[in-house]
Structures are given as structure tokens and as C-alpha cells.
Amino acid sequence: MGTIRKTKYNFYQADVLDFEGKRIRKNFKLKADAQAYINMIEKIKYESKLVGLNLMRKRKDIFEAIEEAIQSKLRLRERSIKKYTNVYKQFENFVISQKIHYIDEFLPEHATQFYNLLLSTNAAPKTINFYLMTIKAMFTELVNMDLLTRNPFSHIKQLPNRHKTLNERQEDYFTEDEIRALFNINIPEIYKRPLLALYLTGMRFEELSSLEWDDIDLTKNLITIRTDGEFKAKTITSERDIPISKALKNILVGYEKKCDFVFPSVQNKKLSERTLLTAIKRYSKEAGIRKNATLHKLRHTFSSHLTMGGVNYEIKRYLLGHKPETMTDRYTKIDPSKLHSQLDCLDNILKLSDNTVTKE
């Protein structure tokens, strides 16, 4: 047991051995604080002894668990890393406010408090559900590691997402007429090629901007999306092979390769999202499209037009690089080399005129 002595400077010095037998001396203004510190060290020593005798499960520091959860996301893209890190850091602030040190101290009551705190922010159900899913998954992993017996978030249910109105759903994508209007005006080639590619492949912008000529197989007519070098696929299921449609092949064949990137910037460097976003907003307005034009809306349009063209759910999920949601999805294997005809509906929608691509 540790001891307390009063120093000549009127401090109370706690003198105690830690669980490794190392002496610790620490000064406090109050004797009660010095005694509390000794009690804490003795508790840690006692619990360590019980763990060594297999009479108690080893306690996991909750801040260590949060840091490990952050580290597990580092293979994702930078934007996703920031998104998850923000959630974990805000959860960490809540843990600090509750003076919790170990994962087994985080109780279902704390989970309810955190849930109510999220509700008080008036954030969208989608945002709140992402927070809940992320933190719940962290505790699930701790249960799987046998560091906890029960997930404290197991009683928390996700909020139902608000169903969009018909007008709101129509705002999510471009209609066939809007797509034809957009791509039938004179857009400089440096912008038109990547915009067409986003529509004809459903790729995310980062996938498109990182695409290099080594990822293009014009013999098999396939685009390969893989984590490689500086590019990180959003998820494992984002790695896929996308069929090259006839319209897209017409763009790629005979194209002068000025650098490694398939769709480079004017300076033959990696294309920036802001540059292409500015372009689609400008040319959508010129085409008479009143909707808020974004690059991701082309991905929504790709999915919507495939559905209208009769393409089934499993194929769309694969082409978009979405993760399987059911066991049937996991069992279903897709051969991308047999999907080229599925994209004919997009080529038919375009009906491009001969003078729509202009040199800049």
C-alpha cells in the first residue's frame, strides 16, 4: 500500500509502486487527491493480478479502442478517412465528458445519452444513422475480440430515413432529355470526355481522375478499378471491372496520350474535382438544365437509366461497386466481360451529333 507525506512546500506526496514494481511519486495540493491516486494505482494492480490468474477479463482502454478504430479506416480514401475520424473524435469528446476510461465502463445508459445528444443536433436521419452505425460497429468488434460481453449500443435502433417526394427524387438524376441536351452542346473536349465517362461508367470522381491508361483494356473493352499506388478504392467491393460501351470506346480509341492519366487536366496533370464541377455547372446551365448539377448526379443518372433500361439489381450493384447487402448478393458472381450489352441503353440515349466535341 502506498504512503502519503507532506513536503516542505506544503504539497502531499503520494508514494506508491505500480503493477510493474516501479516507484511512483506524485505531488497533490490536497491530501484527498493523493489518497485517491494511490487507491487508483492499487485498484489497477489488483485487477492486473486477477487478469493474470484468469479470474478477470483484461480491461481495454476506451481511447486506445477509438484510436484502433481510426487506424482501421486508413486504407480508405482521404475523404472517407476524414468522415470516420470526425465521428470517432466527437464520440471521444462525449467519452471524456462522461469520465469514462475503459470500454466496460461504457454502459447502455451512456449509449442512450449519446443517441439523445445526436438527436438534439437536429441532424438528418442519414447523418445520425452513420454515427450510430460507426460506433456500434466499433463495439461489435470489441465483443468479437472477447473484450466485452455485450454491445452497449445493441438496444439503439436506427432512425427511419425520410422518403423523398417525387419532385425530390427527380432532382437526384438527369432525365434522358437533359442528358441529350447537355452532351449535344459544344463542350470543350477536355471537359466533355470525363463528363461522358462518368455517365457511361457510373464511376466515382476519384476513380475517374485516378484512371491511367494501364487500367484500360481496349481489346477486352474493360476498365479496371483497383487500389494501386496513391489511389485507394472506397471499399473492397469498389474494386471491379467496368465494361467499356461503344460510345465510350469511340472516345478512347485514337485519343492522343499526353500523360499517364486517361482524363487529365489542361496541364496534363491529375484532374481536380473542382475544375470538372465548375464545368458541369456552367454547361448544364447553357443546356437549359435548371437542376443543381453535380458530378455525383451523373452516377445517380447512370444507375437510374440502367434501371429504366431493364438492367437488374445485381448487375447495377456490381457496376456501381456497392457492397453486397444480403447473403444472396454475396453468392452472386458477375462476369464483367458479358455485360457490354447492358450498357447499350446509355449509348442509345446519347445520340450524339458529329460536332459535339470541340478542341480547346
pLDDT at 124 over 60: yes
Q: What is the pLDDT of residues 282-323, one digit of tens each?
A: 999 999 999 999 999 999 999 999 999 999 999 999 999 998
Q: Which one, of 277, 279, 261, lies nearest residue 269 by Cα?
A: 261
Average pLDDT of the segment spanning 220-242 = 90
Residue 73 main-chain phi, psi, to 5 deg: -100, 0
How deeply is 251 buried, as exposed, middle or buried, from its count of CB atoms within 10 A (0-12, 13-18, 19+)? Answer: buried
Question: How many Cβ atoms from other residues are within 10 Å of residue 9's Cβ?
Answer: 7
Please give the span between the terminal C-alpha atoms of the chain, in angstroms, as a whole number: 81
Q: Check: pTM over 0.85? Answer yes or no.
A: no
Question: How many Cβ atoms from other residues are within 10 Å of residue 210's Cβ?
Answer: 23
Which pLDDT score, from 0 to 100, does residue 294 have? 96
How deeply is 92 buried, as exposed, middle or buried, from its count of CB atoms within 10 A (0-12, 13-18, 19+)? Answer: middle
pLDDT at 209 over 60: yes
Please answer whether residues 189 and 147 qualify as being in contact, where contact means their C-beta atoms are separated by less than 8 angstroms: no
Residues ≥6 apart with Cβ < 8 Å to 191 = 276, 279, 280, 283
CA-CA distance, 72 to 79, in Å (whole number)? 15
Model confidence band, residue 347 (pLDDT cutoffs 50, 70, 90): very high
Q: Which one, of 359, 356, 354, 352, lies nearest residue 200 by Cα?
A: 352
Mean pLDDT of the chain: 90
**Per-position b or e across 120-139, b if 16+ CB within 10 A of its CB:** eeeeeeeebbbbbebbbebb
CA-CA distance, 210 to 217, in Å (whole number)? 16
Residues ≥6 apart with Cβ < 8 Å to 168 = none
- The percent of residues above 90 in pLDDT, for the chain, comes to 73
Which pLDDT score, from 0 to 100, does residue 51 have? 64
Average pLDDT of the segment spanning 22-49 = 89
CA-CA distance, 327 to 213, in Å (whole number)? 35
Asked which of 52-56, 137-141, 192-196 is least confident by mean pLDDT, the reply is 52-56
